[in-house]
Amino acid sequence: MQIKHHLVVFDAADMDEESRFWAGVLGGTIEADDDWHEVVVDGKPFVAVQLAPDHAPPEWPDGNAQQIHLDLWIDDIEEAHEHVIAHGARLLKGSQNGNATDTFRVYADPAGHPFCLCW
């Protein structure tokens, strides 16, 4: 089997807010249908958002279970932190692992999906 493309899809009750967040963070554009949005980066779909009117946000780390999360490796944590916060992210947990090879912070997107900025 050869996989030609992969796409992470986020459920959200407010597709516009969720799509704007990921388009802003990733530097992409939004291609929107009624119940499906794709965030396109460099001409290729990168993530998608599908309408889920009854979406219950994950409650990290306990509570409603998360279904998936993204780890995004970045060069400058302070610049990346300001960037995601400006687009609507919430910081869930500060830096982890100190000066280890993979240090990270945990955030939530507008629909509550956790993601990590790693460096």
CB-count burial class (<10 Å; 0-12, 13-18, 19+) for 4: exposed
Q: Which pLDDT value is given to residue 58? A: 86
Q: Is the pTM of this model over 0.85?
A: no
Q: What is the pLDDT of residue 96?
A: 65
Q: Please give the pLDDT value at position 53.
A: 94
Q: Any residues with CB less than 8 A from the CB of 62 and at least 6 apart, and which?
A: none
Residues 43 and 39: their CA atoms lie apart, in Å, by: 10
- Cβ–Cβ contacts within 10 Å for residue 66, how many? 16
Residue type, 56: A
Q: Answer yes or no: are the C-beta atoms of 66 and 113 closer than 8 Å.
A: yes
- Averaged over successive runs of 10 residues, the pLDDT of the chain (119 residues) comes to 80 96 98 95 95 89 79 92 97 77 88 91
